[in-house]
Structure 1
């Protein structure tokens, strides 16, 4: 699927849901194309393609030189049928995703509030004073922007889209929104943040979210049409919208096989033909993917021989930092690293408590094997893999699987270094500490150990990337579509 098509489909989906959920209604005017290009971070042709599709389906009227008008109309009964259908097929994931976002997004929101300056508080207090439904969404987007992690914004965007913007202007569903209650909540959060009472901030964010879920559940439970699991829509975190999804996903799968899976004991990858057959892709996709692996430093194509791979513990080639694809992948690695720092303590703490004893024992066996074979660098990865495999929350499994995949892009940075003694010693120490904590049932301690390890290594990554002229602005730029706030101060 071409880049423009992927983007235009997303923009189409965004407006489709807003029409069906009543945010935009008959006679409303859509934002100008240049504003949409700015917010979605796409070209005007991409926006126009989405709008043309909406026009063809009877949602808008669009003429040169005139504002884009909404012509879609639906009765209260039609709205109700759509909402019931929408939430019926997402019912299981709806609550699962709320719990998952509590573990992953709340810590990032708190980080954003810690970084707010007086001007920021002045702006968000204006949002709180007005307290329209869209102001609440803008409130959280603004806070997340302060954390300067586009991957987190992308996740927030995807979660919000999956929920169908339930806080939109829906007079048909008054249960969804209470402006006075929202105003009180926002002011409480801001007061606590200004006074640096972070426990109150955290507890308030969680309390508000749980209250909203309970209210939604009480309203929808009697009308939702319960469906078997196979008919349920699961949350999927879509990240590589602007790049060939298949190629990037395949590269991550092969990296996993090189470091952890079937290819870890091999010197060369199978032939292109065998790779294409195994992964059910075309030869051209395999060739492009191998090129990416060569550029990132995980592999090396040898004429007439094949593709040599550098498994864990082997000295690999330095990444080709002149490649835009490599730099973009490293930016995602950097952002995923930061997401792990924010969320791992909450996520791993819950995981280890809720896992079956057999799953804990399997994890312990893996850690002990890492220690005995000198592969302690895998211990942190095993903690992430166990989260993606065994978390009781399907959305956490999905999100951590994506994070782990992005995290793999960074290993060649380490594998290309001459001196890794300090990192190897830290890996051994982490492995020993995790083994001891697991044996003693100190699961919260395990989560803290992982976070401490990440906090210690993150500055090393920053130094390395800066040394190679990949600076803060590039590392914190977004290569994934997201709804960023642009010039937000002009809105009020």
Structure 2
């Protein structure tokens, strides 16, 4: 959001602390958290944190000594701090407002599931008794971050920490909104009571108050502190699902997989040469070769000399896969983790999107789904629905995140043949697609959205079962919500 897509974590930590220094949250002579404390806060290693601190020191923001640690070495006056804050938020007015509106549909159910899996306890609440302090809100973040971790989803954790680094962490300090702080702590205490009493149905309403209050606080902050600047350049929201921007082979392989899926490279055809792809995609020949090697490992293509890489039909993918290859196993975990995020957000995001569409757009959705049935592709209803949501979501944040996650599902091609028919019913997807098409015609957005959620949860369960069968034990850490919408957890651990 505040940087280009693909920023690595050490760069994100650097910008986080630089912004906090520029905003006056860390002032001249004050100590930054130690390297070890930062590692714990962002669940990363010294190899990641060291470059961030080194860059801060190089650029004069901090001084580092063995005796005193890292201290702020630059002095900003009140007017400079005010300009830093004003410039930062003026350039992000659209993206931050959009982001704050869509956090609940995107993460609300995940938060509820996380708190049911690891309920808030009295010991957790003791860390943020003082509702007015910035350190208290940091404690809130630490507690929730720990709870989210119980969902067993590394991809989700990267997304949540991204949102904290680029927005929440700094905004808590500059907002100076005691009402926001007080309501946040009050609602979390109420959530802890609900967890203790197992009143799970009431949990979403209690937690949503925090997000609604956050949006109110952001709007108030803009009205009182950031005058509109019509010509101000806007920094758009961006997010990269991969850990490192240097891992170009994954992005390129995903782009080629997407193009194969769309028929740019039909089954039986050959991919262009490495030299031609290098020129077309703007990457090195070695990156192209590594990406094509990855496509070979997932069974999307089969390379042979001197012809090159031939595109294989999806039905043959599993036969040409090396499921022992670490890269492939990690990418298959990406599929399961993406499906969990979709399963936990799909109903709310779908309803939000459908409620924003006009009649012509609803008709286009209906025709898109009906075309799937005519072509005998009813089993693609999940992916088609997610594509339509990513295309038409009334939020740039949701569109960006859903588009990024949707691409990761293409890695699942090799395991489709291993999954078999769901529920031992060959008409499972046909009947679901018919229900969703009829709901669009009657504008029953809730029916469409609950059906999509049901399909996503079942797809997640089937995917986890296949991955466990392949010996990918990490898949067993991914928690699956039950399809009865009562926040009951299906334990997939083996």
Q: TM-score range by the shorter chain?
A: 0.7 to 0.9
Distance change in 2, residues 1:183/1:362 (3 Å): closer
Q: Say whether residues 1:143 and 2:140 are aligned partners.
A: no
Match of 2:398 among 380, 396, 399: 396
Q: Deviations over 1:157-196 (max 9, x none)?
A: 11222326244445xx523665544332221221123223
Match of 1:127 in 2: 127
Give 3-state SS (helix, strand or coil) of 1:332's partner.
Answer: helix
Q: CA deviation at 1:58?
A: 1.7
**Cα displacement (A) at 1:476:** 5.8
Change (3 A) 1:245 1:364: farther
Give the 3-state SS of the residue equivalent to 2:96 in structure 1.
helix
Q: Is it true that 1:310 corresponds to 2:309 in the alignment?
A: no
Alpha-carbon spacing, 1:475–1:146, altered in 2? closer, same or farther (3 Å)? closer
Q: Matched residues in 2 for 1:275 and 1:246: separation?
A: 13
Residue 280 of structure 1 and its aligned partner are, at CA, apart by: 3.1
Higher relative contact order, structure no. (Cα contacts within 8 Å, ≥ 6 residues apart): 1
SS at structure 1 position matched to 2:322? coil
In structure 2, the partner of 1:114 is: 116
Matches of 1:269 and 1:424, distance apart in 2? 34
The question of whether the paired residues in 1 share the 8 Å contact of 2:61 and 2:72 is answered with: yes
Change (3 A) 1:436 1:312: farther
Matches of 1:204 and 1:395, distance apart in 2:
24
Q: CA contact under 8 A between 1:334 and 1:475: conserved in structure 2?
A: no
Assess, with a 3 A threshold, how the Cα gap between structure 1 residues 365 and 334 changes in structure 2: closer, same or farther. same
Q: Distance in 2 between matches of 1:401 and 1:211?
A: 28
Task: Name the counterpart of 2:470.
Answer: 468
Does the CA-based 8 Å contact 2:299-2:317 persist in structure 1? Answer: no
Tell me, in whole angstroms, the C-alpha distance in 1 between the residues paired with 2:108 and 2:173. 25
Q: TM-score of the superposition, structure 1-length normalised?
A: 0.87
Distance 1:86 1:243, change over 3 A: closer
| Aligned match of 1:372 | 374
Deviation at 1:230, TM superposition (A): 8.0
C-alpha distance in 2 between matches for 1:440 and 1:202: 28
Aligned partner of 2:157 in structure 1 is: 153
Provide closer, same or farther for how the CA distance between residues 46 and 184 of structure 1 changes in structure 2, counting only shifts above 3 A: closer
1:216/1:372 CA distance change after superposition, 3 Å:
closer
Q: Could you say which residue in structure 1 is the equivalent of 2:359? A: 357
Distance across 1 between alignment mates of 2:324 and 2:279: 32
Other structure's SS at 1:351 match: helix
CA contact 1:388–1:400 (8 Å) conserved in 2 = yes
Residue 72 of structure 1 corresponds to which residue in structure 2?
74
2:346·2:453 contact (CA, 8 Å) conserved in 1? yes
Q: Distance in 2 between matches of 1:349 and 1:318?
A: 39
The unaligned stretches of length 5 or more in structure 1 are 478-492
SS of alignment partner, residue 121 of structure 2: helix
- Confirm or deny: 8 A CA contact 1:192 1:201 kept in the other structure: yes
